[in-house]
Structure 1
Amino acid sequence: MTGTAPGTVRPGGRSARVRDAVREATLAELSEHGYRGLTVDNVAARSGVHKTTVYRRWGNADGLIADALDRAAAEPWPVPDTGTLAGDLRVLARLVLTGFTDPRQGPVARAFVLAAMQSDAAARALRAFYARRYEQAAVIVRRAAGRGEIPAGTDAAELVRAAVAPLFHRLFITGEPAGGADADRAADAACAAARIGAFVI
């Protein structure tokens, strides 16, 4: 099959500039209007890219979201290296918390999660994004196992999920406030569980 899938463009030159402009417009529209308010027409107008081009390359709002998340997943994540699993998980949990509560980044990060609750395509894109993040964070678990802090065979993705899941629960389920102490508590609980082999596969 030939052709370009929605959200994919050839890198370099004008195509790269178009993709950057559309991505920035998508993030701005998501931040201001949420998933329900995200439209190809508005993104095209905001980006200065002709809407025919946006429709052809991204297809619809889901294609715009998928491409934005795909590009975000490819960006390096500042994985901590504090020398201990507990320290690494605390930094990681606080990093995730900041991503959702920062005045500039927070609205976009929250919009992605809320979009995933309303769209199967957005949910698939978000799962792929977090799968990449788990891959990047796996080094934390490998280092900890090498130091003898946790058993070999500990599932990195499950451990990282456990370290940040309470924050998602507060932010998106109950609407409770979430702060640094909550992030530390979640990380410490996940660390304690890992030490007794709770995440060994």
Structure 2
Amino acid sequence: MTSPDARPEGAGGAPPPRPRPGGRTARTRAQVLDAVLAELGEHGYDGLTVEAVAARAGVHRATVYRRWSDVGGLLADVLDAAGDDDWSPPDTGSLEGDLAALNEEIQTAMGAEPPIMEALIAASFRSEKAARAQRRLWEDRYTRCEIVVTRAVRRGELPPSTDARRLLVAATAPMYHHLVLLRTAPDPGLPAHAARTAALAAAAGAFGVPGPE
């Protein structure tokens, strides 16, 4: 699962696509959002300002204020734009392989320079607008990744009652725990190990949907 420059979650269909501006408006948006990512990567949340973004993007700051209002609005649009892609989870032919490939994507995105994904996660704790957009992004990614579990059930690797969200969270959580919370160096063996642990637990029924009491 990737975030801007790097959504796993839940049941139900993906949210309806957001309307996308065209022409000059689209070019201005692209320039501004690229500038937000560059400024965030170089200076972090505390160094991110509307004025700096406008200058880097080559647009008048009044334009930025009018459309995005503030830094929170800029960050939210960066995250929303990340959900406008056509990304889909890998299909390796096995549950363990799919989960390992997802974890490899996470590790690669978290280790990229500049550290955009890390900076966006950090910014979501400082801005409510960014936090809401971050939740929308993860919701979309988890929804897209449900196909990984659906395919595994069809292949007979998992019980039909497997809860996709719980399994996906368990499979990817070690990546964020090590890379974000513990801030350890990327471990080449971790993506596959975390995937195998989750796949074995899921095959044993650890992520079954709770039945009625």
Unaligned runs of 5+ in 1: 1-7
Equivalences for residues 3-82 of structure 1 within 5 A: 11-82=21-92
- 1:9 and 1:57 in contact (8 A); partners too: no
Higher RCO (Cα < 8 Å, 6 or more apart): 2
- 1:145 and 1:152 in contact (8 A); partners too: yes
- 1:44 and 1:54 in contact (8 A); partners too: yes
One-letter code aligned to 1:114:
A
- 1:25 and 1:43 in contact (8 A); partners too: yes
| Local SS of the residue matching 2:113 | coil
1:139 to partner: Cα distance: 0.8
- 1:22 and 1:43 in contact (8 A); partners too: yes
Alpha carbons of 1:146 and 1:174: their partners in 2 closer, same or farther (altered >3 Å)? Answer: same
- 1:89 equivalent in alignment to 2:65: no
1:180 to partner: Cα distance: 2.2
Q: What RMSD in Å do the two structures reach over aligned CA positions?
A: 1.6
- 1:165 equivalent in alignment to 2:173: yes
Moved more, 172-181 or 20-29: 172-181
TM-score using structure 1 length: 0.90
Distance 1:138 1:165 in 2: 16
- 1:178 equivalent in alignment to 2:147: no
Give the structure with the larger helix fraction: 1
Moved more, 13-22 or 73-82: 73-82
Return the match for 1:200 from 179, 200, 208.
208
| Local SS of the residue matching 1:16 | helix
